[in-house]
Amino acid sequence: MFVVTSYLTAVILCFITMLCWGSWANTQKMASKEWGFPLYYWDYSLGIILFSLILGLTLGSNGHSGVPFIRNLYQSQFDSIGFALLGGIIFNIANLLLVTAIDIAGMAIAFPIGIGIALVQGVLINYLAVPDGNPILLFSGVALVTLAIIADAIAYKNINIRKSSNKGILLSICAGILMGFFYRFVATSMSKNFDVIDIGKLTPYTATFIFAIGVFISNFLFNTILMYKPLSGAPVSYSDYFKKGNTKLHLIGILGGAIWCMGMELNTIAAGKAGFAISYGLGQGATMVAALWGVFIWKEFKNAPKATNALIALMFFLFLSGLTLIILAKI
């Protein structure tokens, strides 16, 4: 299977993760006018599981390192499979709650609370589990990225004034806490050494595939609840998925899932050299990539007050400074 052999390569893969995790939501934006999020989410989760299988059968099955994808599936112990499945289930709940919170409270409230908590908690948990790198540089970098997320939130607040609600804030907090846990469970399922896989443990490719199964299977419970008993918006049904859907809408959702899955796969592969805490921390910088889309492609700040430009500049300065410190934490 393909493995990373240098820290530089791992950092590059983490940057690609940022691009993927910060870009997949554009596909939902492309479909949102015709296609409600719960309906889109079925295709999105299908895209994750299909692309994880493709990566497992290709990158995960070629080369001299590790164990081929199919063989690793057969040799995996139940507890390793359980941890990866649980990671997928937790991620799915967190993702659904965060999207609902954004719908209720707005991007400016939900995103910094949810992703801010997930970033700090996720890096802390993964570092405590496997201490790797300089903690002062690592957590200083995390602090700067968190400040960048807050600056991003204030900028969005200037263009989209919406009254926050306790319900939206509570959902954001719950989403952030859950999002901060999911990666640790996936990491626990994997071998510490990707060149020689520990007995019963998973390779990054097998872990991501089983994680994807957890996402898809849990959809039948959690997404179904949000379809028929939504926390915001109008309810939808399974018949709507087949009546309102068309090939274009389904492919857009599958593409979104494939993009997110690519980021997840590269992030877990990179963890072999970067460590789980640094890999996760760099990946969650995706918030700033999403902001780049908003600024330069979707022109979300075109009519914003002039002071917003200074906030955007500050946001990117803090973001780049934070990423630099996180990268240096391993050198």
Task: Give the total number of structural domains in the chain.
Answer: 1
Listed in sequence order, the DSSP H helices in the chain are 7-21, 25-31, 37-57, 69-75, 78-105, 107-129, 135-159, 166-189, 204-228, 238-244, 247-274, 276-283, 286-292, 307-328
Hey, which residues does 190 pair with through a beta bridge?
Answer: 202
Q: Which residues contact 184 (CB under 8 A, 6 or more apart)?
A: 87, 122, 125, 126, 129, 276
Confidence of residue 43 (pLDDT cuts 50, 70, 90): very high
Residue 1 lies in a domain: no
- The answer on pLDDT for 163 being more than 70 is no
Confidence of residue 260 (pLDDT cuts 50, 70, 90): very high
Question: For position 164, what pLDDT does the model report?
Answer: 57
Average pLDDT over residues 221-228: 96
CA distance 111 to 160: 14
CA distance 95 to 17: 17
Residue 2 lies in a domain: no
Residue 318 lies in a domain: yes
Average pLDDT over residues 45-64: 96
Q: Which residue has the higher pLDDT, 110 or 17?
A: 17
- The answer on pLDDT for 324 being more than 80 is yes
Range of the domain at 320: 7-328
pLDDT digits 0-9 by tens, 167-217:
888 998 999 999 999 999 999 999 999 999 999 999 999 999 999 999 999
Residue 289 lies in a domain: yes
> DSSP string covering 20-34, please?
HHTTTHHHHHHHTTT
pLDDT digits 0-9 by tens, 99-147:
888 878 776 678 778 888 999 999 999 999 999 999 999 999 999 999 9
Residue 198 lies in a domain: yes
Contact 208, 263 (CB under 8 A): no
Residue 54 lies in a domain: yes
